[in-house]
Amino acid sequence: MHVPDGFINAPVSVAAGVVAAAAVGVSLRGARRELADERAAPLAGLVAAFVFAVQMLNFPVAAGTSGHLLGGALAAILVGPYTGVLCISVVLLMQGVLFADGGLTALGVNITVMGVVTVLVSYGIFRGLVRVLPRGRRRSVTVSAFVAALVSVPAAAAFFTLIYAIGGTTDVPVGKVLTAMVGVHVLIGIGEAAITALTVSAVLAVRPDLVHGARGLAAPLKLRVGGELVDAPAPEKASGTVRVPVAARSVRKVWGVGLLSALVLAGVVSFYASASPDGLEKVAADQGIDKNVREHAAANSPLADYGVKDIGNARLSGGLAGVIGVGVTVAVGSGIFWAVRKRRDEESSGASGASGASGASGASGASGASGASDRTAV
């Protein structure tokens, strides 16, 4: 659903850019809490790279139409809604600048539609469902992720239609655009839901502590004693050793497996992706809203259209472009998330220092007052 240049007029594109910039600014602040754990920053960078890789895998949804992951639900559930917005924003920026996918003047529209709307809708639905479904069950989280991802895609399509109704550059009835967009994106949403649920379920199976949306949902362990259920006692230290809690385990193995998976998907599996136009492209061509589309400013980029320039072998060209894209995305994303976390640590240290200085000053003043009182008494 990457909107190209020319679909939306300049004033509305600028307004969408302002909205996107504000959303990113709010997310940068909100992500400081989500990235408090030192493991969170590299995982967030990995999620951005994984979303980039899976977005290259267009899957057929109808005759002559394909779809691909949007990723907002997946990112929000795995690393948190604020960090999720940043993940999708990084992916869209890399795609627009390096691969000429999604217009540069439409970057604000794309971030708003594919990043902000999908995250807000999906995470709101996800949190609502996990509260009413049985707690402590992996299936509840997986089902919630499936439904949230499914709804987020047609919601994003509907929001694009709203933007088109305000600033579309062609005169096509909005009702026709809405019907076509939502119709095809419901089908794409099924694929999105399946990918999201499978990925979340896989991470839950090996490291449930790394799924942001599942934190605090585990039901306490119960034991049946005398016919009654009671809370299980906390585990004691084993003789000579201390059991390391799950939350303290390293994420290197998960990160390595995840990165390898992203590289394989982008570098190898992407060659077999559907070549049919995606939902937006198909609707645009059928309804005529692409009449004023403009050539991408980065159309002559060495990586434009997900291929390496001057490499004639399509499989090698596309695979190498995918690997480069994953590498750049994980590097840029991880760098941004580390910077956000470092900023949080600096603010925390500054607050602690100020509190300590205030305490010391108060203690000193109290001591001085006490001494003066003693001298007066003498």
- Helix H, strand E, coil C: the string for 261-307 is HHHHHHHCHHHHCCCCCEHHHHHHHHHCCCCCCCCCCCCCCCCHHHC
User: What pLDDT score was predicted for residue 372?
Assistant: 47
Asked if residues 317 and 307 have their Cβ atoms less than 8 Å apart, the reply is: yes
* H or E element that contains 59: strand 59-62
Q: Compute the C-alpha angle 275/277/283, nearest 5°.
A: 165
Contacts of 261 (CB under 8 A, 6+ apart): 50, 53
**Which has more confidence, 93 or 136?**
93
Task: Supply 325's token pair.
Answer: 């894209």
Q: Compute the C-alpha angle 261/41/324, nearest 5°.
A: 40
| Correct CATH for 10-219+252-349 of 1.10.10.60, 1.10.1760.20, 3.90.550.40, 3.20.20.70 | 1.10.1760.20
> Looking at the predicted structure, is the pLDDT value of residue 40 above 80?
yes
What band does 96 get if pLDDT is binned at 50, 70 and 90?
very high
Q: Give the three-state DSSP class for 231.
A: strand
Measured CA to CA, the distance from residue 40 to residue 3 in angstroms comes to 30
Task: Supply 80's token pair.
Answer: 């948190």
Percentage above 70 pLDDT, the chain = 83
User: What pLDDT score was predicted for residue 228?
Assistant: 64
**Which has more confidence, 39 or 336?**
336
The structure's pTM equals 0.86
- Write the DSSP symbol of residue 220: P
**Which has more confidence, 188 or 37?**
188
User: What pLDDT score was predicted for residue 243?
Assistant: 43
Measured CA to CA, the distance from residue 232 to residue 234 in angstroms comes to 7
Burial state string for 79-96 with b = 16 or more CB within 10 A and e = fewer than 16: bbbbbbbbbbbbbbbbbb
- One-letter amino acid at 99 equals F
Contacts of 321 (CB under 8 A, 6+ apart): 99, 303, 306, 307, 308
Give tens-digit pLDDT for 107-147.
999 999 999 999 999 999 999 999 999 987 899 999 999 99
Total number of residues shown for the chain: 378
Tell me how far CA of residue 25 lies from CA of 19, 29, 30, 47, 311, in angstroms.
10, 7, 9, 20, 39
